[in-house]
Structure 1
Amino acid sequence: MAKLISAYELRRHWVNHQEIALLDVREEGPYSLSHPLFALSVPISEIEQKLPALVPRRSAPVVVYDNGEGYVDRAAARAKSLGYTDVAILEGGLAGYARVGEVYRDVNVPSKAFGELVESINHTPSLSAREVKNLLETDPQVVVLDARRFEEYNTMSIPRGRSCPGGELVYRVFEVVPSPETTVVVNCAGRTRSIVGTQSLINSGVPNKVVALRNGTIGWTLEGFELEHRKEERALEPSSQATKLARRHARSWAEYVGVSMIDGDKLAQLAATPAGPYPAEFARGHPAGFSNAPGGQLVQATDEWVGVRGALLVLYDTDGVRARMTASWLLQLGWEVYVLDENSTVPADLSIAKVPSWIPPEAGAISTEDLKRLKEVTVVDLARSPSYRKGHIPGSWHASGPELIRDLKTINNKGPIVLTSPDGEIAAANAGYARNAISRDVFYLAGGTAAWVEAGNAVETETRWLSAPIDVYKRPYEGTSNARKDMQGYLDWEYGLVAQLANDGVSRFHVVRNQRVQGE
């Protein structure tokens, strides 16, 4: 059995900036209802697939918890089987933690809470949906920059919006905006990326008036205004002159905030420390050892890229703009962060922690042709439910990954069971566990549903649930079918995050006020 760690000790790691990764091994639905500030959603059934990228160094402290479901011993064992050497169980689980610290709703909470703090400290300018609509109708020169990922923008956007993800704003603004007198509106689906994007442009010293669309597309929808769909307009790639100007502005702000620039030699020194760097930014022609993390999303959803709170981050780009601006925010979010100078050469022998690898077992693997030959077979899909809804092997059932055994026991026929998942890895990781827990033949489909499709086989969309799907939290700010009460409830929750942060006391956030004279 793994050792125990108390909630007090866990919180001391955060306050003292000591490395630690906290894993909520329940499904995302329950996680989204209540979790500690820096908890990561890593369902027990997905540990082999998700954990190595989030925690690449196997000596990093890892803590697992649930809310009494009985997952933690198994989760700790699975983490140890990947080679993690310092694995602990949170004493008392979620309920025990809630007695000493704040618990939060939703996902990507640290970034969202930080965004609210940024607005509170800097009084980030914003306009209501009605004010922005009036502005668009009266000023043909207004530029609207949508700071979300392109896929989100393509799904729904406000009139005259063009895609410019948050990490690209300073990089592209001087190419997109025709004159210093042009008003710039930054929007997202809710609040965070609008606030941080607007403040990025203001902090960098652009001469334009910049405002956020208050409450994003949610606010636009609640006001009764129509959104546009399937737009594909993107902010232009900057010219060399625009890039030079953006670099000057980004460099000035990064220096003001205190972002540390390093060269290849310093990177090698950092890599040699026990903690080692956590390479988190990627660009075309990226150095070996760096991984892809678009700057805006890295600030908006840091917990989806970096699992170890207290880790050391190194960012890189090829333009001298995006990494600096991203680092300026991560520094304020409480991370130790450095930027590798874009003109530096990374040492060929750089010592970067090798990401733990997991190799699917050969035992129990079958091919698509083997699957077709099986009699009275039941196919069980461990995909996330939205993926399952989009298309799955005909006749297959959806099961809960963490509650796989419970769900498999509800299957009536006595024939073999074949587990599948989008690429087969999650199915492979859970097949042995299922085989040992039930008295039936259990196989997994090598290559998963993707292999089924690649072999020319059809999929269907009719759903069959072995239990209610609680594996994914329905985000009220994504998609086009959200209830008004859910959208308003989400906004009300965001407004209360600053108070929660103050009561919790573990964030280590520090928002830098821009007190420079315009033009510095």
Structure 2
Amino acid sequence: MTATLSFVAVRAHLLAGDEIALFDVREEDPFAQAHPLWAANLPLSRIEIDAWRRMPRRDTLIVVYGEHEGIDLAPLAVERLGALGYTQVRLLEGGLDGWRQAGGELFRDVNVPSKAFGELVEHERHTPSLAAEEVKALIDAKADVVVLDARRFDEYQTMSIPTATSVPGAELVLRVRELAPDPATRVIVNCAGRTRSIIGTQSLVNAGIPNPVAALRNGTIGWKLAGQVLDHGATRRAPEAGEANRAAARASAEDVARRAGVRWVDLHALATLEAPGRTLYRFDVRTPEEYEAGHLPGFASAPGGQLVQETDHHVPVRGARIVLADDDGVRAPMTASWLAQMGWEVHVLAPQAASARSDKGPAPAKAATPATGRYRRPYEGTDAPPEAMQAYLDWEFGLVAQLESDGTHGFRVL
């Protein structure tokens, strides 16, 4: 009989900072309806595909649950994980109902730790923002303003704010000086909803950018709810950073990262982070195109903005170590500064010579979640009903209170 771990025991591991992976093995849609804060989604249908990538250490403490439509999927997940060589797999005592009955907080949606963290950042730092109507008035008046879209490029192409340029999250501090060289130019950062615009705006504030900076309040959702028109198929991308701007960005990024408690490591010392009983994730936070052209062996592609946005997907083992690499000394430290504030032990690899990036080719493609099990995000695409978009915003506004009620987040905002 498979051993179990109780709500109290799981919570104790989380509070102690121990390594633990809590997995919901239902499909994405039921997972998104209710789950613990630190539960990551690993559908039963994808265990053989994703487990080794997401849990590189076979003796990780793993706790699983997942009852759906009267069928308990967790015992099957335990069996499959055991067949893959995982030796410390436990069932969550009582499953999700047991968590609820024990008083555990439950969260909706996906990428909840990152989204809740973004709300806490805004709450603690009072991140500046402007309403959609205010931003539109600035654009219409041809004011001295640039709009920077912090999402992935494909999301930006689907729908974007008029005049906006694609500058995915980790690229902002590196490239903003090229797009707004005059300190008087107002910089507006947007995403689809709230998280990436908050984190992107606060990144520029933390890095000491002299320009006035603000998030587009509620992103493209707010723009649509205001009755304003979005562009489609835009292709504007940020230019490369010049050497002087790169040096300035590097100095400010290092300062922010050190204040957050980030550590640096040399390539020859990297193996020392792989201590017994410790999981180490290695990520290259540059753009997918740069990664494909050449990357360090053993490093997976995770563009920095998306890594902060989807931390539960990339790093499901809470308490694990993370090491980040770039080639400029800006994107890795800025990304690391956020992960450290989220409670991770993060190291930045000192920039390496181009010859060290000997592996080439794209990151392995992630198979699409089956349509029958996928959770439809209220902020994606162009046809979400206004009621769903507003409900999503209302949910985000309540996340800070949920964090306080849950008590396991371990976040510390600079």
Q: What TM-score bracket applies, with the shorter chain setting the length?
A: over 0.9
Q: Which residue of 1 aligns with 2:362?
A: none
CA contact (8 A) 2:129 2:217 kept: yes
CA contact (8 A) 2:4 2:92 kept: yes
Q: Which residue of 1 aligns with 2:82?
A: 80
CA contact (8 A) 1:316 1:342 kept: yes
Counterpart of 2:347 (choices 320, 338, 342) is 338
* Letter aligned with residue 397 of structure 2: Y
User: How far did 1:258 drift?
Assistant: 2.2
User: How far did 1:276 drift?
Assistant: 4.3
CA contact (8 A) 1:264 1:347 kept: no
Task: Answer yes or no: is 1:179 the counterpart of 2:81.
Answer: no
Deviation track 1:337-392 (CA, whole Å, cap 9, x = no partner) reads 111111489999xxxxxxxxxxxxxxxxxxxxxxxxxxxxxxxxx97444xxxxxx
SS of the residue corresponding to residue 71 of structure 2 reads coil
Stretches of structure 1 that go unaligned for 5 or more consecutive residues are 349-381, 387-468, 513-520
CA contact (8 A) 1:148 1:188 kept: yes
Q: Which residue of 2 aligns with 1:395?
A: none
Q: Which residue of 1 aligns with 2:27?
A: 27
CA contact (8 A) 1:250 1:324 kept: yes
Counterpart of 2:99 (choices 97, 100, 106) is 97
Q: Which residue of 2 aligns with 1:419?
A: none
CA contact (8 A) 1:264 1:345 kept: no
User: How far did 1:141 drift?
Assistant: 2.5
The 1:346–1:102 alpha-carbon spacing in structure 2 relative to 1, beyond 3 Å, is: farther
* Letter aligned with residue 323 of structure 1: A
CA contact (8 A) 2:56 2:279 kept: no
The 1:113–1:346 alpha-carbon spacing in structure 2 relative to 1, beyond 3 Å, is: farther
CA contact (8 A) 2:296 2:356 kept: no
CA distance in 1, matches of 2:100, 2:395: 18
* Letter aligned with residue 479 of structure 1: G
CA distance in 1, matches of 2:349, 2:43: 34
Q: After the TM superposition, which residues 476-495 of structure 1 pair with which residues of structure 2 at under 5 Å, given as runs?
A: 476-495=378-397
CA distance in 1, matches of 2:347, 2:96: 34
* Letter aligned with residue 290 of structure 1: F
Task: Answer yes or no: is 1:311 the counterpart of 2:320.
Answer: yes
* Letter aligned with residue 497 of structure 1: L
* Letter aligned with residue 335 of structure 2: T
Q: Which residue of 2 aligns with 1:320?
A: 329
CA contact (8 A) 1:263 1:344 kept: no
Q: What's the Cα RMSD here?
A: 1.8
SS of the residue corresponding to residue 485 of structure 1 reads helix
CA distance in 2, matches of 1:124, 1:169: 16
* Letter aligned with residue 129 of structure 1: A
Stretches of structure 2 that go unaligned for 5 or more consecutive residues are 358-366
Q: Which residue of 2 aligns with 1:158?
A: 161
Task: Answer yes or no: is 1:498 the counterpart of 2:413.
Answer: no
CA contact (8 A) 2:60 2:277 kept: no
CA distance in 2, matches of 1:384, 1:193: 23
Q: After the TM superposition, which residues 131-150 of structure 1 pair with which residues of structure 2 at under 5 Å, given as runs?
A: 131-150=134-153
SS of the residue corresponding to residue 280 of structure 1 reads strand
Task: Answer yes or no: is 1:287 the counterpart of 2:296.
Answer: yes
Q: Which residue of 2 aligns with 1:440?
A: none
Q: Which residue of 1 aligns with 2:311?
A: 302
CA distance in 1, matches of 2:46, 2:262: 35
CA contact (8 A) 2:60 2:86 kept: yes
Task: Answer yes or no: is 1:106 the counterpart of 2:109.
Answer: yes
Task: Answer yes or no: is 1:191 the counterpart of 2:93.
Answer: no
SS of the residue corresponding to residue 175 of structure 1 reads helix
CA contact (8 A) 2:59 2:277 kept: no
**TM-score of the pair, normalised by structure 1:** 0.74
Aligned residues: 396
Q: Which range moves more in the overlay, 211-220 or 49-58?
A: 49-58
Task: Answer yes or no: is 1:278 the counterpart of 2:281.
Answer: yes
CA contact (8 A) 1:186 1:213 kept: yes
* Letter aligned with residue 186 of structure 2: T
CA distance in 2, matches of 1:192, 1:282: 18
CA distance in 1, matches of 2:356, 2:104: 43
Deviation track 1:102-151 (CA, whole Å, cap 9, x = no partner) reads 00000000000000000000000000000111111224431100000001
* Letter aligned with residue 494 of structure 1: E
Q: Which residue of 2 aligns with 1:461?
A: none
CA distance in 2, matches of 1:385, 1:276: 29
CA contact (8 A) 1:148 1:193 kept: yes
Bigger radius of gyration: 1
Q: Which residue of 2 aligns with 1:418?
A: none
Deviation track 1:279-333 (CA, whole Å, cap 9, x = no partner) reads 1235443221111110000001111211101101111111000000000000000
* Letter aligned with residue 304 of structure 2: G
Deviation track 1:454-479 (CA, whole Å, cap 9, x = no partner) reads xxxxxxxxxxxxxxx3x011100110
User: How far did 1:176 drift?
Assistant: 1.5
CA distance in 2, matches of 1:343, 1:180: 32
Counterpart of 1:70 (choices 69, 72, 84) is 72
* Letter aligned with residue 122 of structure 2: E
CA distance in 1, matches of 2:218, 2:368: 32
CA contact (8 A) 1:282 1:290 kept: no
Q: Which residue of 2 aligns with 1:245?
A: 248
SS of the residue corresponding to residue 193 of structure 1 reads helix
CA contact (8 A) 2:284 2:299 kept: yes
CA distance in 1, matches of 2:387, 2:2: 43
CA distance in 1, matches of 2:149, 2:203: 14
